[in-house]
Chains A and B, each alone.
Chain A
């Protein structure tokens, strides 16, 4: 168990180090997410009365698109110098690679959310109800990245990588998107915990199911 953790962490750490040195992905994804929020503001011409209706949607569309952009890089970085082969030569089971990569994408998405969400709430003059939003964001991010890491590995071996990932990824994460938007709506309306519990349950169910399935099928995606 401890060995597993050391190895997962080693993969996570080297990805983090690489990203901290280049900051390529983080900056572009952040700017992109912010742009989506701003563009939607124009698209909906959000006045005081309509903002409550469209705000959750804007936030989650921004996250989803930013997520796709970030996930595209999860395995693309391993193609340089064929380092994915180097990883696969290590005496570890394939799912260890999956978990390490997942830890990386999860943290990355969470950082993006942590920066975008407060800006979003301020820009749209919404209540700063962060703790409950944070819970929704964590649960939804687990779902997004568990499926996204699997599909990122898959699309890294396809010809049109950038477009294949969203085509595969978006239909599958529809439940996460619905549940996250609905739960966020409840929070922003100042609703009760009980109103969002159904949505949280869907998120948790999705997270567990797709973590397990991804761990099981990952080796079929990366082997040659």
Chain B
């Protein structure tokens, strides 16, 4: 069982590396330079891929939170927690790559447009998700609180987006439609590479958490035995 899991990890890792190198090649060498924006536009391939993965991560949190409250199996909580951490990291990267791209193109670092604002609100929601665990009076309670927030926060996403979109918008719309095929290919490979990166990181994080739990369990049972 363990051997097979190690092999699966290695295959994933190899595939991930290959895809990431391919993505880097496509982004920096293969893809044509965009006429209006110049080289800075190449950040778009990372920006969009990161945003997609962040959203995927929060979707995983949502599903695992429901499963945790329903089945009460700690494994779901572990996956949700790891995925939320990755989601926050990726959202942070989206919030960093965005302004780098925006500054030369729009002339400002930040603008309160729909997608930027919604992403920021999303980031705040999931930072709260990570915080609430630490502040709960006991561990199992923290897990349940986080699960509730994982559900409420995700359901809120479309409403937040809709409200902010109606409020104002400057973000380039309909991105994929205007892309030439070589750009589209680059984007797709980049998205695939980052999705795989997410899966590898999630798998690693979950297994570290499980090992931590096992160590703590062993330590506790050893201490209990000594007490008798």
A/B: CB atoms within 8 Å of each other: yes
Seen from chain A, the residues whose Cβ lies within 8 Å of a Cβ on chain B are 147, 150, 154, 157-160, 164, 167-168, 170-172, 174-175, 178-179, 182, 198-199, 202, 205-206, 209-210, 213-214, 217, 220-221, 223-224
B155 at the binding interface (Cβ < 8 Å): yes
The count of residues in chain B whose C-beta lies closer than 8 Å to any C-beta of chain A is 29
**B128 A171 Cβ-Cβ under 8 A:** yes
7 example contacts (A-B, Cβ-Cβ < 8 A) are as follows A157-B137, A158-B132, A167-B131, A168-B132, A171-B125, A175-B163, A221-B145
B49 at the binding interface (Cβ < 8 Å): no
**A220 B69 Cβ-Cβ under 8 A:** yes
Given contacts A147-B152, A209-B159, contact A217 B132 (CB under 8 A): no
Question: B144 is contacted by which of A159, A174, A175, A220 (Cβ under 8 Å)?
Answer: A220
Closest Cβ neighbor of B66 among chain A residues? A217
Closest Cβ neighbor of A175 among chain B residues? B163
Given contacts A158-B137, A160-B135, A178-B167, contact A168 B128 (CB under 8 A): yes
A-B contact sample (7 more), CB < 8 A, given A158-B132, A182-B166, A202-B166: A164-B131, A164-B132, A171-B124, A174-B121, A213-B152, A220-B69, A221-B144
B200 at the binding interface (Cβ < 8 Å): no
Q: Find residues 151-182 in chain B having any chain A CB closer than 8 Å to their own CB.
A: 151-153, 155-156, 159-160, 162-164, 166-167
**A220 B128 Cβ-Cβ under 8 A:** no
**A172 B148 Cβ-Cβ under 8 A:** no
Question: Using Cβ atoms and an 8 Å threshold, which residues of chain A touch B147?
Answer: 220
**B159 A175 Cβ-Cβ under 8 A:** yes
Question: Using Cβ atoms and an 8 Å threshold, which residues of chain B touch A205?
Answer: 159
Question: Using Cβ atoms and an 8 Å threshold, which residues of chain B touch A172?
Answer: 125, 152-153, 156
Least distance between A195 CB and chain B CB atoms (Å) = 12
B136 at the binding interface (Cβ < 8 Å): yes
Given contacts A154-B132, A158-B145, A175-B159, contact A217 B125 (CB under 8 A): no
In the docked arrangement, what's the CA distance between A202 and B164, Å?
Answer: 11
Given contacts A174-B121, A178-B164, A213-B155, contact A159 B148 (CB under 8 A): no
